[in-house]
Amino acid sequence: MKYNSSHFLDKLIEHEGMVLTVYKDSLGIETIGIGRNLKDRGISKEELDHLDIPSMDTVYEHGITEADARYLAMNDMAIVERELVAVHKCVEDLDAVRQLILMDMAFNMGVPRLCKFKNMWSAIHEQKFDIASLEMMDSRWARQVGRRARILSDAMKSGEF
């Protein structure tokens, strides 16, 4: 992929925020760090070991550090990238900005939900990014995330942030 992962991590922090204690997101799902969904993804034994955290009880009691949050987010980014490219190989051929946009959307809503944007994907496959931009905004996701959707939609259209 062409996008810069540290630039993407900065964008995620801007969009998702970084909370070092367990909180409930807008859907009531327990979350920590930079949007790590504890219900669906949790924190694996390997990740806990790497972070030198003895158990999830410790996470719930004391939270995590900023470095821990960044580590978990980088792991999430790798997972999302693999999932996204597996279902839409065309993502690899896009410019860095549009890759970052689709990664941001996939990180936010999950790849299965992003795949439901059929008209947006058709437009992307045809490199009609102005139409893809409009399709992004014609969604419940756009209404839910507001400013984030406008920023990403504008960048999809123009190819730059």
16 confidence band (pLDDT: 50, 70, 90): confident
Give residue-wise pLDDT tens across range 73-126.
Answer: 999 999 999 999 999 999 999 999 999 999 999 998 899 999 999 999 999 999
Instruction: Give yes or no for a contact between 35 and 29, defined as CB atoms under 8 angstroms apart.
Output: no
Start-to-end CA span in the chain (Å): 18
Q: In a 3-state reduction of DSSP, which class is residue 138?
A: coil
How many structural domains compose the chain?
1
What is the structure's pLDDT at 20? 98
129 confidence band (pLDDT: 50, 70, 90): very high
Q: What angle do CA 114, 106, 16 make, to 5 degrees?
A: 130
What is the structure's pLDDT at 27? 83
DSSP 41: T
Hey, what's the torsion of the CAs at 147, 149, 152, 158, to 10 degrees?
Answer: -90
15 confidence band (pLDDT: 50, 70, 90): confident
Q: If you write DSSP's letter for every residue of 46-78 in order, what string do you get?
A: HHHHHHT---HHHHHHH---HHHHHHHHHHHHH
Q: Averaged over 5-29, what is the pLDDT?
A: 92
Q: Is the pLDDT of residue 11 over 90?
A: no
What is the structure's pLDDT at 75? 97
What is the structure's pLDDT at 29? 93
Q: Averaged over 42-67, what is the pLDDT?
A: 97
Amino acid identity for residue 35 in this structure: G
Dihedral sign from CA coordinates of 40, 16, 80, 102: positive
Q: Is the pLDDT of residue 26 over 90?
A: no
What is the structure's pLDDT at 149? 96
Instruction: Give yes or no for a contact between 5 and 98, defined as CB atoms under 8 angstroms apart.
Output: no
Length of the chain: 161
Which domain, by its residues, includes 138? Answer: 5-158
Q: Averaged over 42-60, what is the pLDDT?
A: 97
Percent of the chain with pLDDT over 90: 91
On average, the pLDDT of the chain sits at 96
Report the alpha-carbon distance of residue 132 to residue 108 in Å, rounded.
18
List the CATH number of the domain containing 104. Answer: 1.10.530.40
Instruction: Give yes or no for a contact between 101 and 157, defined as CB atoms under 8 angstroms apart.
Output: no
